[in-house]
Structure 1
Amino acid sequence: MADEDPFTSLDLPRIIDTSETDFVEEFYNPLLSRSVEYKRGVGYFTTNWLQSAARGIAQLAANGGTAKWIMSPMLEPEDWEAIKQGEKAKRDKALRAELESDIKDLQYDLEYQTRNAIAWMVADGLLEIRFAIPNTDLHGDFHDKFGVFTDGSGNKVAFHGSKNDSAHAFENYEAYSIDCDWLSDRDTQGVTLQEERFDTIWDGQKPNLDIITLPEGIEQDIADLRDQDHRPYDDPDGESNDIELRPYQREAVENWMGNGMRGLFEMATGTGKTFTALGAMDRVLAESQNQMLVVIAVPYTHLAKQWQGELEVFGYENPKFLYGSANPNWKNDLSRITSDLTLGMGDDKVVITTHQTASTDYFREQIRNTNCTSFLIADEVHGVGSDHQRGALVDEYDYRIGLSATPERHYDEEGSEFILDYFGGVVFQFTLGEAIPEYLTQYDYHPIIVEMTEEELSEYSKLSKRLASAAASEDTDEELVERLAMKRANLVKSADNKYASLKSVLRQIDQPDHLLVYTNPQQIDNVQDILNGLGIFQHKFTYREGDEEREQLLTSFDRGDVDALVAMRCLDEGVDVPSTRQAILMSNTGNPMQFIQRRGRVLRQFPGKEKAVIYDFIVVPTLNPSQDIVDSERNILKKELRRFEEFAANARNEHGARNKIEEVRMNYGLAGSDDEEE
């Protein structure tokens, strides 16, 4: 774009000011999106500046552009003295102490695209930062504000003025004077003088001004903020113009291609199933000679936005949302899309819909009636195996990808078989054990044994006897069996001693650090009261909060403004909480699909996160059971301990975790995992 759309296409005034001009949208972004070089002198190295003036830096990066920034560090008086002494060790120590906190601010305050572009450009050597510190006859800060843009045709724009690009400056009356070197000799002279002045400062040739490069280690700290999976521009070494998939993701795509471009990706939560599927889609679209309709079906509407963001990384912008809450006219849009493709009009189309909408008669008929090549990507594929939603899986989809950490449906063998048959089987598996620690965070696992109270145990025993009797009856009342089983399960979920155990765990944690407490509707109010009573700043995070409020809560949680989130159902709905360092699972399930996903969502990697700690509440009737209780509960506990086995197997403290559960095994006559395998 930088070569095709030069600065000369812009109508730049001689002077701009904040009273009439949006500096970001009307000045920085249009110029940076056309630039291949950006030289900038500014006041301070702060997130306020980067949040505003650097917003267009992602567009500069996409052009393969380079940048040089000169700025002033925000230093305490004693740090200034250390720097003025001139000893590199003292100077770097003072700078490092200040910049480390600034970089932490970058990590939490910058929007994703800006942070990722800056970090990648630093890592690739495309962005250099130097600090200007006045000395000798000058006693203040470097407080100049000027810059020079260069486009792909060699045109240059220089600017100079009062505006320092801080958040506060956007509220002030500020102005820039602008020179464009193609307009007149005077403008050319102005640009030349500003660039020569920048280069003189950059090279350390300006009297009374010291220039200091980034201290050792700080440059790497900035580079470490990049998303390793999402390079926002082509590799500057020119090795590949393609987005780089991880080795195991490339293997998944190859296996899928070799299976007739159909198959299930069974990949641990957090290992990039979405990215892998889009890598396969991108390859097919690039190689296909035919127009194609790609349908991405998600279980929940908020996941549509996540897919939209990933599509943009691959260069597919503005996918059409085809479901009621996002697009009341989705039927008309779908009809128009399929008609255009049938007539050979337009380009490939990528649409995002929900499992529910994709299974409607109208949606299915539109897919059946188009004669173009069609491609289905089903996220959380286990969801489309239900009797109602499997209608979305029509035969007309030529290419098919199903994604899930657990594609099999719990207690639904027929639905599981349908999914396997439709997608052509599992073509790639990538387990949690394979993903830790390179791609997912390692974790400690602490099972917390919770006994029932005497009253609960008595009620539990009565329900167990009634349930056994009802199930053994010749005229089994399935509704009664289900009702009794649910009532007993709710008794376990709401066990009163969980609250005492929660207080104990919270005191053990002492200082919560990005804590997630997973609860159910019966617990959430009591849990919030307990956290409030211990002085822990918390907020609930449930399905009742809208998408926008959730985003705000996650941002506050990531930054540490909120100590804890008290969550309900969100981990089953595809919401990722990657900054979580401590998770307390007060409410859990025997369904592998659910508990595996809940764990995976807190194991995603996050800057500064070395490990996660999971506290898992496991309810047992009693640790001193009578033989009657042993006989009636052995099989139930065996199912409950499946979760324990899954969680313990990949934990850092596996043996310590197993020792904690050994008393339950012995008292209930349950074999260990090794014995069960034999």
Structure 2
Amino acid sequence: MTDDDLFTSLNIPRVIDTSDVNFVDEFYNPLLSRSVEYKRGVGYFTTNWLRSASRGVAKLAENGGTAKWIMSPILEQEDWEALKLGQEAKHDEVLQQQLADTVRDLQYDLEYQTRNAIAWMIADGLLEIRFAIPKDDLHGDFHDKFGIFRDSEGNQLAFHGSKNDSAHSFENYEAYTVDCGWLSDRDAEGVALQEKRFDEIWSGSKENVEVVSLPEGIRQDIASLRDHEHRPYTDPEQSDNGITLRPYQREAVDNWFANQRQGLFRMATGTGKTFTALGAMDEFLESRSTPTLVVIAVPYTHLADQWKNEIAKFGYNNPKFLYGSANTQWKEDLSRILSDLTLGMGSDQLIITTHTTLANEYFRDQIKRSNCDALLIADEVHGLGSEHQRKALLKEYEYRIGLSATPKRHYDEEGSEHILDYFGGIVFEYTLGEAIPEFLTPYDYYPTIVELTEEELEDYNNLSKRLATAAASDDADEELVNRLAMKRANIIKSAENKYVSLRSVLSRIGEPDHLLVYTNSGQIDHVQDILNEIGIRQHKFTYREDNDERQRLLSNFDKGEIDALVAMRCLDEGVDVPSTKQAILMSNTGNPMQFIQRRGRVLRKYPGKEKAIIYDFIVVPTMNPTESIAESERGILRKELRRFEEFAENARNEHSARNKIEGIRMEYGIVEDNDEDTDSERSS
């Protein structure tokens, strides 16, 4: 630390006023950026005051500093009287009610940086707010205006004057008298008197003034406004590598260690499964005295770079990519790494590979022959449950972490059980409802019903009859049944009215704001044509784009240079697109792994993102079905509605979304239940 980091480097006049001093640039910011403590008594709990008072507080927090604010609440007369009479039981109730609207205003009236800084400081305990209420011989408001700064060397500065730190006060003629404790005994005495006065008020020992703490509910409401992806200062309680796990992530790691370092983390998409796994890995490696192998297996190659970036945050900068498209010499590298570890040479080794390579015979043989301690981290672990891929799950990986929002495999009970058994069961679950709104973005959900055209409905009915006849035959031709079912499903998948509904939704949206459109291969060209026709800047995002192109597209999308991404299944798992605010799901299946992943893409936190909006298409033959149509569709639509109910459950507009779904349920006579169906799945 240099002298420039202390108050003694500043030239602060004894008296300053707004006519010739810029209070923000020449007073608040220079002092706060050098402070480790800031005590302030002033004004009212308003967004204007908070906007002004919070200038530079992120710098204060970066210094490891703290702030205490005493202010006056704005209350109705009857509420004032209740508080002044000392009715302690009413304190929280009255303040909670009267401050709730002000807290809601914070979300919209404060600029992002200010709101985020205040919310984080409240959450971390670096900023405390108390309310002063004059009583007994005093009948007015708490109307004092003073403060005390302290730097890291103990130098103190106190100020007192007329300025109220409101937005309007910056336009008034206002003044402060300033005492600098390091300049003279008289200044030091002035500082001590101001601090003594503040501390007496803060502690509630000042005669005729009662002090009430910020109600816990309001404190939590302010804290919930913080952006978890963008902390404006270093965590004051961070570990040596700068990493602090969220409370629920901490619980997951603790549960994993308690389960003999094995287990599945079933966590909603967007809640930080990767970070949680790496937190467990980091602590595990720190606890060991011998070099250890860590194998991280991802379902798709584009996820390898994301894992590498996250790993670097924990201080591990050289993971080895061991799969063909990234490293043609991966076999030689694997052999050398395992040989060194078996001989006890070198340090811990981190490998990133794909599910496919993990199951490769050579890869498996090398792991079996090695004699080293190994931790397996399997991302999107449900992908390893297939008959071929599960060969990768070797007993040689003594330590195991499986990650998925949906570890249960769709229509594969055997594969699901194998995964659960191998990883030692689910040791931690964290649902979407638990994560909203603190860690995921609240969302509105709009089910959009799409009916077949008359021609499509006629073809659908004819295929349904043929399918029923073929399936009912004693010597049913399985190939014929499957072919008919596929042809019928394709009518749903390619329903012409999807494009009519797309135009309607786009008209409702107006100007798109970070829009994702999920399609299938048969729709994507037509969808792009519609977006082009309307004048929306868009680009497709498919498996045909290489990693560099994908990163460029995602960057342009984040910056708003592309209005919309038109995507197929490549965005289902792992790709982070947190800036997404709107999504149109034109193509879905009943597979929960896919639709849960798609929803997760939309709900991640992002600066300036207050909510997300999801439009979800469901195709029905008709909303006026005959009994025969209703009977043949009932089982299939029951499964479709499960997806809609899953989406509606945690939406802000849950009831209106459910009412839309209920219309389908009533028309088709679908009784709500949780039984598994065995009808052929269709895509919509």
The Cα of 1:311 is off from its aligned counterpart by: 0.5
The Cα of 1:380 is off from its aligned counterpart by: 0.3
Query: Is the Cα–Cα contact under 8 Å of residues 295 and 377 in structure 2 kept in the other structure?
Result: yes
What are the superposed Cα offsets for residues 471-509 of structure 1, whole Å, 9 maximum, x if unpaired? 333333333332222222221111000111111111111
Query: Is the Cα–Cα contact under 8 Å of residues 241 and 315 in structure 2 kept in the other structure?
Result: no
Structure-2 change in CA distance of 1:674 and 1:515 (3 Å)? same
1:446 to 2:446 alignment: yes
Structure-2 change in CA distance of 1:511 and 1:669 (3 Å)? same
Q: How does 1:212-231 map to 2 (within 5 A)?
A: 228=228
Structure-2 change in CA distance of 1:374 and 1:505 (3 Å)? same
Between stretches 558-567 and 459-468, larger displacement belongs to: 459-468
What one-letter code is carried by the residue in structure 1 that aligns with 2:247? P
What one-letter code is carried by the residue in structure 2 that aligns with 1:605? K
- 2:586 alignment partner in structure 1: 586
1: CA distance, partners of 2:326 / 2:224? 36
Structure-2 change in CA distance of 1:485 and 1:574 (3 Å)? farther
Q: How does 1:530-549 map to 2 (within 5 A)?
A: 530-549=530-549
Compute the TM-score of the two structures, normalised by the length of structure 2. Answer: 0.67
What are the superposed Cα offsets for residues 268-319 of structure 1, whole Å, 9 maximum, x if unpaired? 0000000111111111111112221000000000100000011000111110
What one-letter code is carried by the residue in structure 2 that aligns with 1:124? A
The Cα of 1:231 is off from its aligned counterpart by: 7.3
The Cα of 1:572 is off from its aligned counterpart by: 1.6
Q: Secondary structure at the match of 2:307?
A: helix
What one-letter code is carried by the residue in structure 2 that aligns with 1:308? K
The Cα of 1:235 is off from its aligned counterpart by: 4.8
The Cα of 1:322 is off from its aligned counterpart by: 0.4
What one-letter code is carried by the residue in structure 2 that aligns with 1:125? E
- 2:62 alignment partner in structure 1: 125
- 1:283 alignment partner in structure 2: 283
What one-letter code is carried by the residue in structure 2 that aligns with 1:499? Y
2: CA distance, partners of 1:648 / 1:484? 32
- 2:671 alignment partner in structure 1: 671
Q: Secondary structure at the match of 1:602?
A: helix
- 1:427 alignment partner in structure 2: 427
1: CA distance, partners of 2:476 / 2:371? 51
Q: How does 1:559-574 map to 2 (within 5 A)?
A: 559-574=559-574
The Cα of 1:556 is off from its aligned counterpart by: 1.2
Q: Secondary structure at the match of 2:438?
A: coil
Query: Is the Cα–Cα contact under 8 Å of residues 293 and 373 in structure 1 kept in the other structure?
Result: yes
Structure-2 change in CA distance of 1:650 and 1:322 (3 Å)? same
- 1:375 alignment partner in structure 2: 375
1: CA distance, partners of 2:276 / 2:64? 30
Q: How does 1:459-470 map to 2 (within 5 A)?
A: 459-470=459-470
What are the superposed Cα offsets for residues 560-595 of structure 1, whole Å, 9 maximum, x if unpaired? 111111111132242121111110001111101110
Q: Secondary structure at the match of 2:294?
A: strand
2: CA distance, partners of 1:272 / 1:236? 21
What one-letter code is carried by the residue in structure 2 that aligns with 1:380? E
The Cα of 1:658 is off from its aligned counterpart by: 1.1
1:396 to 2:396 alignment: yes
Query: Is the Cα–Cα contact under 8 Å of residues 59 and 233 in structure 2 kept in the other structure?
Result: no
Structure-2 change in CA distance of 1:127 and 1:243 (3 Å)? closer
Structure-2 change in CA distance of 1:614 and 1:333 (3 Å)? same
Structure-2 change in CA distance of 1:328 and 1:533 (3 Å)? same
| Structure 2 gap segments, 5+ residues each | 11-16, 30-55, 66-164, 169-222, 677-684
What are the superposed Cα offsets for residues 42-65 of structure 1, whole Å, 9 maximum, x if unpaired? xxxxxxxxxxxxxxxxxxxxxxx9
- 1:632 alignment partner in structure 2: 632
Identity %: 68
Structure-2 change in CA distance of 1:233 and 1:293 (3 Å)? farther
What are the superposed Cα offsets for residues 513-561 of structure 1, whole Å, 9 maximum, x if unpaired? 1111111111111111111111211111112111111111111111111
The Cα of 1:256 is off from its aligned counterpart by: 1.1
What are the superposed Cα offsets for residues 410-448 of structure 1, whole Å, 9 maximum, x if unpaired? 011111111111111111111111111111000000000
What are the superposed Cα offsets for residues 70-90 of structure 1, whole Å, 9 maximum, x if unpaired? 9xxxxxxxxxxxx99658699
Q: How does 1:169-568 map to 2 (within 5 A)?
A: 228=228, 235=235, 243-568=243-568
2: CA distance, partners of 1:407 / 1:618? 25
Q: How does 1:610-649 map to 2 (within 5 A)?
A: 610-649=610-649
User: What is the RMSD computed on CA atoms of the aligned residues?
Assistant: 3.6
Q: Secondary structure at the match of 2:565?
A: strand
Query: Is the Cα–Cα contact under 8 Å of residues 645 and 673 in structure 1 kept in the other structure?
Result: no
Q: Secondary structure at the match of 2:652?
A: coil
Structure-2 change in CA distance of 1:224 and 1:623 (3 Å)? closer
2: CA distance, partners of 1:457 / 1:591? 25
1: CA distance, partners of 2:555 / 2:238? 35
Query: Is the Cα–Cα contact under 8 Å of residues 224 and 437 in structure 2 kept in the other structure?
Result: no
2: CA distance, partners of 1:90 / 1:250? 40
2: CA distance, partners of 1:356 / 1:675? 34
What one-letter code is carried by the residue in structure 2 that aligns with 1:425? G
Q: Secondary structure at the match of 2:362?
A: helix
Query: Is the Cα–Cα contact under 8 Å of residues 120 and 231 in structure 1 kept in the other structure?
Result: no
What one-letter code is carried by the residue in structure 2 that aligns with 1:389? Q
What are the superposed Cα offsets for residues 165-195 of structure 1, whole Å, 9 maximum, x if unpaired? xxxxxxxxxxxxxxxxxxxxxxxxxxxxxxx
What are the superposed Cα offsets for residues 105-148 of structure 1, whole Å, 9 maximum, x if unpaired? xxxxxxxxxxxxxx9974733499xxxxxxxxxxxxxxxxxxxx
What one-letter code is carried by the residue in structure 1 that aligns with 2:461? S
2: CA distance, partners of 1:38 / 1:645? 62
2: CA distance, partners of 1:665 / 1:404? 31
Structure-2 change in CA distance of 1:326 and 1:468 (3 Å)? same
Q: Secondary structure at the match of 1:570?
A: helix
The Cα of 1:320 is off from its aligned counterpart by: 0.5
Structure-2 change in CA distance of 1:463 and 1:348 (3 Å)? same
Question: How many residues are treated as equivalent by the alignment?
Answer: 492
Compute the TM-score of the two structures, normalised by the length of structure 1. Answer: 0.67
1: CA distance, partners of 2:458 / 2:308? 52
Structure-2 change in CA distance of 1:38 and 1:646 (3 Å)? farther
The Cα of 1:604 is off from its aligned counterpart by: 0.4
Between stretches 486-495 and 602-611, larger displacement belongs to: 486-495
Structure-2 change in CA distance of 1:610 and 1:399 (3 Å)? same
Structure-2 change in CA distance of 1:581 and 1:408 (3 Å)? same
What one-letter code is carried by the residue in structure 2 that aligns with 1:623? M
Structure-2 change in CA distance of 1:365 and 1:650 (3 Å)? same
The Cα of 1:228 is off from its aligned counterpart by: 4.1
